Chain A
Amino acid sequence: MTGSTRQPLSMSRTEFEDSLDRHGGTLAQWPEAERRAAQSLVLSDRDAAAALALAARLDRALGALPAAPVELGYATRIAARVADRMAAPRLGRLAAAFGTTALAASLVAGFVLGTTLAPTDDASTLAALVLPDIDGGSSAGTSSGGTL
């Protein structure tokens, strides 16, 4: 708030319009020095007076913006929707927790099985099935086929 002892300043139209958008269209709500300068301008400048009137109209329109109706039961309806939303994450967390537990259990089981079950001679068996007898033995995989 500008001190009331200050002399009213002269005000250009641009300054007036800046103040109009800053303080609104009711001069009584302006800081005193600006108000006095604005009053002087409005008395001598028809365009400034028109701008002031327009700003006041805008203020009235802003003050009269419609309110949304609140139907009977609106609060109950929204409360129910909120409660549903609050319940859903709990189920989600439960599912996530279950999934994490299942994954951890399967990893542990795999590790335990992999480390505790005795190895068979499956390695050699498998090799015999899929690899040719590199020693030139009588493996089924090495027939008497010719050479290239």
Chain B
Amino acid sequence: MADAIAAKGPTAPAPDAARVRHAKIVRDGFSRGFLMRPAAPGATSPADDPDAPLVAALRQGDERALAELIRRHGGRLRTLVLRFSGRRDEADDIVQETFVVAWKEAARWRPGAAPFAAFLTRVAINRAIDRARRARLWRWTGLAETAEPEDPAPGPEAAMIDAAETRAVLDDIRTLPDRQRAAILLAAEGDRGVAEIAATLGVSEGAAEQLLVRARRTLRTKLAARQDAGEGDQT
């Protein structure tokens, strides 16, 4: 997790006041049309967003800027989506799609609107949710060739799961409804408040809080059941 947080760069833990301001900027940016919103005086300055120069370069078609944005955010997004879906191929596809969108939308992005990193997160998690819905639909219609595998092959990421409990919790997370899953994973990234999670998912703060409460309740219940089962096995 420390790696994931460290990889976030622009959204590293900040003091409370700054975090509140950041969440407000994200919320306002999303609610007003994330990219088109002109810079609001006093809201933030381009200097507040370390990605602004790269987005400006990307607007000119600079592929090196794209590579740098991917270097900054690709790992974080890959982690988020991989936690969500458990599929590396899908995670890479979604990261790729996210940066295709980033490139296409770069011309419309305005410094001073919501941070570009938050925009990337929103695109990635919503793509992941869309894919999960489509996969369920295909399975429901019986047209899917096979059920969606979870971690089809033990890859390097499996080796990083150093505790059985963490692994079990991750498995539990993947059984949650899409939006609950997305909300709890966004929260687990460490420094997101309810306002930013709500903005990322495009729901109200109250709805985001309910998603988090339900997700935590389910996860806690399952953890308790495993604990009880473990104690039962020992007796």
B-binding residues in A (CB < 8 A)? 17-18, 20-22, 24, 51, 54-55, 57-58, 61-70, 74-76, 78-79, 81-83, 85-86
Contacts and interface: CB of A to CB of B under 8 A. Distances in A.
Contacts of B103: 82, 86
A18 B74 contact: no
Contacts of A86: 100, 103-104
A65 B96 contact: no
B165 A75 contact: no
A58 B96 contact: no
Contacts of A69: 156-157, 160
B219 interface: yes
A51 B75 CA distance: 34
A78 B99 contact: yes
Interface stretch (B25-33, B76-84, B124-132): B76-84
Interface in B185-235: 185, 187-188, 190, 209, 212-214, 216-217, 219-220, 223-224, 227
B118 to A, nearest CB: 19
A70 B6 CA distance: 13
A17 B218 CA distance: 12
Interface of B: 1, 3-4, 7, 63, 66-68, 70-71, 74-75, 78-79, 82-83, 88, 91-92, 95-96, 99-100, 103-104, 156-157, 160-163, 165-166, 168-170, 184-185, 187-188, 190, 209, 212-214, 216-217, 219-220, 223-224, 227
Contacts of B161: 66
Contact of B157 (A51, A57, A68): A68
B163 A64 contact: yes
A83 B170 contact: no
B13 to A, nearest CB: 13
A55 B220 contact: yes
B165 A66 contact: no
Contacts of B187: 62
B12 to A, nearest CB: 15
Contact of B71 (A20, A68, A75): A75
A78 B68 CA distance: 11
A79 to B, nearest CB: 4
A75 B220 contact: no
B78 A68 contact: yes
B74 A62 contact: no
B220 A62 contact: no
A54 to B, nearest CB: 6
B83 A22 contact: no
